[in-house]
Structure 1
Amino acid sequence: MDYRQLREEVIAYSKTIGIDKIGFTAAEPFGELKNRLIRQQELGYQSGFEEPDIEKRTNPELLMEKPRSIIAIALAYPSKMNERVVSKKGERRGIFCRASWGLDYHHILRAKLAKLEEFILEKVPGARLKSMVDTGELADRAVAERAGIGWSGKNCSIITPEFGSYVYLGEMITSIPFEPDTPLEDQCGSCRKCLDACPTGALVQGGQLNAQRCISFLTQTKDFIPEEFREKIGNRIYGCDSCQTACPMNKGRDFHFHEEMEPDPEVAKPLLKPILSLSNREFKERFGKVAGSWRGKKPIQRNAIIALAHFKDDTAVSELENLIRKDPRPVMRGTAAWALGKIGGSESAFILQKALAEENDEEVLTEIKKGIEMIK
């Protein structure tokens, strides 16, 4: 078989199904990545959401018998909303990061990869193929970097010359010996705008992230957010874009190639107060189609409380009181108590004093006392 011709046919077909960029690399182990991951693990910088087996993350041979190449794909997503909604007093809004606008990208990329698999199998019926997006074993960024999709920026994102870092990534391990692409030169140079823009100092140095301090990670946890990070979260209810919006390579980059990625502004930038009382069913109906819903409603609701505290929204006091009095989840009651302390005022003080006498959970009591101290 003429694999060079097949490669060109795969590239041409990929464009017809809406894949914005495609690259190829050998299915060799990712030795440098393995060393970095071991070091990250030693430092305690991992998020815990990753595949725990570093060997599987870095050796394609453990994922498929006799792999010969990996195809990397990228799809560009929007950085601006065509329709805008405004946050105002009494109607404050939170914000999902850009990677959670529109339909969950996992579904979008898996559908593209499935079509690409079908095409390849028509050409090579006996081919072995294994596709993955984000939650697979391989590190998407490492594959994309080696396949020439873009370079790994200081903000730990893949930066493409065409689309900046506003791209979703996926890959396919194959048994076909496709000719590899040449990796791109790093173009970050001496720029450190992303490092300076990180609200929590999670970017330790160029290319090294302490996930435990990253707002994107923190907004996805389910426990109390450490107090040192709460004010830095602002009105983010899922994810963080600070290191992307600060990047000069992203200036003026805004792509609307895929209708399913277009954000519904009422979902991407939702009103905060209604989020607090959503049932599980209502949450799924409202947010279930976006990537930011994957951890369920608890983190989103907790982050909405923190956002209301950020705005010092005194119109939310009654909703926060309701959480302290009735919500069975200590994280919600405690975060609401802290938020009342940030909002302040005599009504908040009265609610907290009453809660102090009625609460039994030690962590919640600690948050109530913090709230009372803030008002004093």
Structure 2
Amino acid sequence: MTNKITSLANPLASPDSTSVTVSTIETLCHRLGIPTVGIAPWPLPADAKEHLFTNKPCPFTAGTLEERLQGGTHLVTPRSAIVCLFPYYMNTPAKTTSNIARYAWADDYHLVVTDYLSRLIDQLRLIAPEAEFEIHCDTSPLADRYMAYLAGLGFYGKNRALINPTWGTYTNIGSILTTLPLEPATPMTRSCLGCNACIRHCPGQSLGDKDFHFHTCKSYVTQKKGDLTDDEKSIIRKTPLIWGCDVCQEVCPHNRGIPETPIPEFRRIQARLDVSEVAPLSNREFKNAFDHRAFAWRGKKVLLRNQEILDT
């Protein structure tokens, strides 16, 4: 998937604007239908490296440690980060057995989140035309979960997901780096219940108290290209999903009783992908038909391979 950093910088901008406050941003987000927002500090805290370092990063993680500390920003003097959560949870439709992870049921969240953040920037420019802004959504080196934690929007679960008290773990994260000097939030001091349900039920036993073994995570395995080992095939067969994995979220007690998403784009869902309709498509036809869905970035071959594994 291409890097979705959208720079909306004004080369004549001054970083000294104080015309926008946190309250202003919260009001604008409410009007735009963005349910949760917080402010993270920039530059990152001195101990950020301790939170972001891993000796075996997943290949899908964008950027090196140093790039993640810098955020891949093109702004010269960013001073704050506006961090927004976009909940996507929807109940499974009646008489439907889903075969793709919930985050991929609706339109690609990269597109949806970027659209909402662009509209937020349009409103902020009316108040502070001298300010600079830059959108980051998941595939840039910006450490999105860490930024959301710093913005006071949640705490970490043992499945490495961010847990928001209202929306649970079913959220997409989008951030705007800006030259606006905004007061950062205080991170939550809460922690997950520590029930270890996510660790016990993980199909590939990829979770632990300290390490995350990405190579046995079903979500990673379903997106990995090429031939799979017998062990990897066994992991795929643990659940009916041909793309992604929701097990560690489904068993998490923090997700019990959470509301469905209020975001219209995430309420229009297709919880099941008919692989028989995908198989006869050329690569170009597949791209044209599904480029607006999050599972399309790896192409159709991995989907067909995963279905074949489940059928054998």
TM-score normalised by L of structure 1: 0.73
1:77/1:254 contact within 8 Å kept: no
Alignment of 1:85-104 (within 5 A): 85-86=96-97, 95-104=99-108
Per-residue deviation at 1:231? 2.2
**Which of 123, 127, 145 is residue 141 of structure 1 equivalent to?**
145
Per-residue deviation at 1:308? 1.4
In the alignment, does 2:173 pair up with 1:169?
Answer: yes
Per-residue deviation at 1:291? 0.5
RMSD of the alignment, in Å? 2.2
Letter in 1 for 2:78: P
Cα-to-partner distance string for 1:138-161 (whole Å, 9 max, x where unaligned)? 011010000011112111111100
In the alignment, does 2:153 pair up with 1:152?
Answer: no
Q: Which residue of structure 2 aligns with residue 227 of structure 1? A: 230
Letter in 2 for 1:111: D
Aligned-pair identity in percent equals 29
In the alignment, does 2:118 pair up with 1:114?
Answer: yes
Cα-to-partner distance string for 1:42-76 (whole Å, 9 max, x where unaligned)? 3x3x2212223321211359642121111100011
C-alpha separation between the residues in 2 aligned to 1:18 and 1:161? Answer: 19
Q: Which residue of structure 2 aligns with residue 261 of structure 1? A: 266
In the alignment, does 2:90 pair up with 1:79?
Answer: yes
Per-residue deviation at 1:136? 1.3
Q: Which residue of structure 1 aligns with residue 216 of structure 2? A: 213
**Which of 55, 69, 84 is residue 58 of structure 1 equivalent to?**
69
Of Structure 1 and Structure 2, which has the larger fraction of its residues in helix? Answer: 1
1:188–1:131: structure 2 CA closer, same or farther, 3 Å change rule?
Answer: same
1:220–1:302: structure 2 CA closer, same or farther, 3 Å change rule?
Answer: same
**Bigger Cα Rg:** 1
Counting matched residue pairs gives 295
The answer to which of 185-194 and 76-85 deviates more is 76-85
1:60/1:173 contact within 8 Å kept: no
TM-score normalised by L of structure 2: 0.87
Per-residue deviation at 1:134? 0.4
C-alpha separation between the residues in 2 aligned to 1:60 and 1:139? Answer: 7
1:47/1:211 contact within 8 Å kept: yes
Q: Which residue of structure 1 aligns with residue 24 of structure 2? A: 9
C-alpha separation between the residues in 1 aligned to 2:23 and 2:193? Answer: 33
Q: Which residue of structure 1 aligns with residue 12 of structure 2? A: none
C-alpha separation between the residues in 1 aligned to 2:251 and 2:209? Answer: 15
1:145/1:184 contact within 8 Å kept: yes
1:307–1:101: structure 2 CA closer, same or farther, 3 Å change rule?
Answer: same
Letter in 2 for 1:71: I
Q: Which residue of structure 1 aligns with residue 9 of structure 2? A: none
Q: Which residue of structure 1 aligns with residue 8 of structure 2? A: none
Letter in 2 for 1:133: C
Per-residue deviation at 1:280? 2.0
C-alpha separation between the residues in 2 aligned to 1:158 and 1:3? Answer: 30
Alignment of 1:295-374 (within 5 A): 295-309=298-312
Helix, strand or coil at the partner of 1:228: helix
**Which of 246, 252, 269 is residue 251 of structure 2 equivalent to?**
246
**Which of 283, 290, 293 is residue 290 of structure 1 equivalent to?**
293
Helix, strand or coil at the partner of 2:186: coil
1:171–1:25: structure 2 CA closer, same or farther, 3 Å change rule?
Answer: same
Per-residue deviation at 1:126? 1.2
Cα-to-partner distance string for 1:8-30 (whole Å, 9 max, x where unaligned)? 11110111111110000210225
Q: Which residue of structure 2 aligns with residue 68 of structure 1? A: 79
- Stretches of structure 2 lacking an aligned partner (at least 5 in a row): 1-15
Letter in 2 for 1:97: A
Per-residue deviation at 1:296? 1.0
Q: Which residue of structure 1 aligns with residue 39 of structure 2? A: 24
Cα-to-partner distance string for 1:110-145 (whole Å, 9 max, x where unaligned)? 011111111111111111111110011201101000
Letter in 1 for 2:63: P
Per-residue deviation at 1:275? 3.6
Letter in 2 for 1:252: G
- Stretches of structure 1 lacking an aligned partner (at least 5 in a row): 87-93, 310-376
Structure with more contact order per residue of length (Cα contacts < 8 Å, sep ≥ 6): 2
2:114/2:137 contact within 8 Å kept: yes
1:276–1:205: structure 2 CA closer, same or farther, 3 Å change rule?
Answer: farther
Cα-to-partner distance string for 1:57-101 (whole Å, 9 max, x where unaligned)? 113596421211111000111231345435xxxxxxx61101111
Cα-to-partner distance string for 1:138-195 (whole Å, 9 max, x where unaligned)? 0110100000111121111111001101111010111111011111123314321111
Letter in 1 for 2:229: P
1:30/1:59 contact within 8 Å kept: no
C-alpha separation between the residues in 1 aligned to 2:278 and 2:46? Answer: 45
